[in-house]
Structure 1
């Protein structure tokens, strides 16, 4: 089987876990993903099968769109909800208007310092491997492009940790959790990324993804080739995060 399978990666699995699953259920030994998506994030993960693996780099180069949530007043070691709390303060003084005022400074070409808990290589090793070894290295900055950053909703402004839902369209190599952390620093209160859904990679969007459950079901019936036009309702994947409160001060 040759082609690109647009998989909906669930939270809790690594991108490599998804590739291993696809390889097992389809019987294709030659397959690979087109760009890592954090284990805690969900969303679009195109997986190339067979001869299509030669096209992977072209898919990877495309821009990406995310729906994310930023929680103010808490900074973590991984810049998302899975790290240790480094700083904790009351951010109720920050207003939505102040948040909107800092957004323009993050549009266009900006510099980012990727987090230690990331898959990029420094000195021949991935940063998360160095972190697990207790090593700290100087991480080089990278230039990325934020094409669009739009506020979708916000709540909890009367609490110590306001939360803002946003859509972000950006270039390859952008760390959305670093973007959230940098916005928190600009506001002087700290912040972390409390939710992330990748809604598009190049020409591949949520509307054409297939869940792993559906893929496994079709594979059992030997109908995997019927997947050119799978469908998915975007908002059902978002329900799980709304039930989770912000990180609490330990």
Structure 2
């Protein structure tokens, strides 16, 4: 029986569960899982655990996560990323120093409210299924850690960030909250 960890380079538009089912089918093995759900619109490394390696899944999920994301300021979408409908716009402009100053407030332990467009289940239903049906429900605030929040590039209205964070962090929410703190709006344009 095959056991191990397979690093899959997940493409945009493929779910984490679809990656698992493709590996199951390709290797003809039943005991396969992933180490944390990546957004449908995200791409990048998704570790897939196979056979006996599924036992280490929880340890891998608890480890730090690293993301590179591009954000667009001045607009908010219902999904908090480029795939959603624009809900709000702002013409507020800020410089790099203002952005860096506000970013400092997001380092360390912070609280987030998970987005409606997420795989979190409430009463057996995924939030994104409820959101697609126009239903919005109250979500519990959660604590997450932002270990690093680095600005890689900035040319208003776009910015590129490197983020190292704890499990359970929603980068879309982080960017949305950052936009709000700047007196504007923001959404994720790409997430790796």
TM-score by length of 1: 0.74
Q: How far did 1:90 drift? A: 2.0
Q: How far did 1:23 drift? A: 1.1
Q: How far did 1:179 drift? A: 0.2
Q: Distance in 2 between matches of 1:168 and 1:109?
A: 14
Which SS does the other structure have where 2:23 is aligned? helix
Match of 2:29 in 1: 28
Q: Which has the larger Rg?
A: 1
Structure 1 segment 231-246 matched on structure 2, within 5 A: none
Match of 2:87 in 1: 86
Match of 1:176 in 2: 171
Q: Distance in 1 between matches of 2:101 and 2:123?
A: 38
**Gaps in structure 2 of 5+ consecutive residues:** none
Q: How far did 1:121 drift? A: 1.9
**Gaps in structure 1 of 5+ consecutive residues:** 198-250
Which SS does the other structure have where 2:175 is aligned? helix
Which SS does the other structure have where 1:116 is aligned? coil
Deviation string, structure 1 residues 130-185 (Cα, Å, up to 9, x no partner): 22333221111100000010011122x3xxxx101110000000000100000000
Q: Distance in 2 between matches of 1:124 and 1:27?
A: 29
Match of 2:134 in 1: 134
Deviates further, 165-174 or 19-28: 19-28
Q: Distance in 2 between matches of 1:21 and 1:59?
A: 21
Asked if 1:121 corresponds to 2:121, the answer is yes
Q: Distance in 2 between matches of 1:138 and 1:123?
A: 12
Which SS does the other structure have where 1:150 is aligned? strand
Structure with greater helix share of residues = 1
Which SS does the other structure have where 1:106 is aligned? coil
TM-score by length of 2: 0.96
Structure with greater strand share of residues = 2
Deviation string, structure 1 residues 162-220 (Cα, Å, up to 9, x no partner): 101110000000000100000000011100011110xxxxxxxxxxxxxxxxxxxxxxx
Q: How far did 1:55 drift? A: 1.5
Structure 1 segment 70-109 matched on structure 2, within 5 A: 70-91=71-92, 93-109=93-109
Deviation string, structure 1 residues 77-128 (Cα, Å, up to 9, x no partner): 111111111112224x211111111011000000000000001122332211
